[in-house]
Amino acid sequence: MKILINNRLSVLEPAIEEHIQRQIRLALTKEASNIASITFNISDAQNLYGHSDRVEKHCSLTLSLHHMSNIVIDETQPDLYVVIDRVIQKAVRTLSRKILSKR
């Protein structure tokens, strides 16, 4: 299972990247045989409600799957750790549903 992390944040500390790697591996190891690669994009995003002083974090997670269509999950939140965890949780649920429907 190959994981690619694209950082478009102004600052990404090594601890954040390690957190992303750890959370992805914990959440998706069980289904690793179905996953060809994982691409995780993280960037700053302007607040959708016009609050120019508050920059939110946007994450996009793409699961490239074997013999199934890709899964793409997007999430935007003010808190970096929340957005990382939520996008991974959504990907796990979506992958589980897709695998169940294939059987």
Helix ranges (DSSP H) in the chain: 14-28, 80-102
In the CATH scheme, what is the homologous superfamily, with its name and number, of domain 2-102? Ribosome hibernation promotion factor-like (3.30.160.100)
pLDDT score of 1: 79
Residues 74-87 have pLDDT tens digits of 999 989 999 999 99
Mean pLDDT, to the nearest integer, of 57-72? 95
Query: What are the CA-CA distances from residue 67 to residues 1, 25, 31 (Å)?
Result: 15, 21, 13
What is the number of H-type helices and E-type strands within the chain?
2, 4
pLDDT score of 53: 66
Residues 3-43 have pLDDT tens digits of 898 888 766 678 888 999 999 999 999 999 999 999 999 99
Domain boundaries, the chain: 2-102
pLDDT score of 12: 67
Distance CA 99, CA 31 (A): 9
pLDDT score of 92: 96
Which amino acid is present at 37?
Answer: S
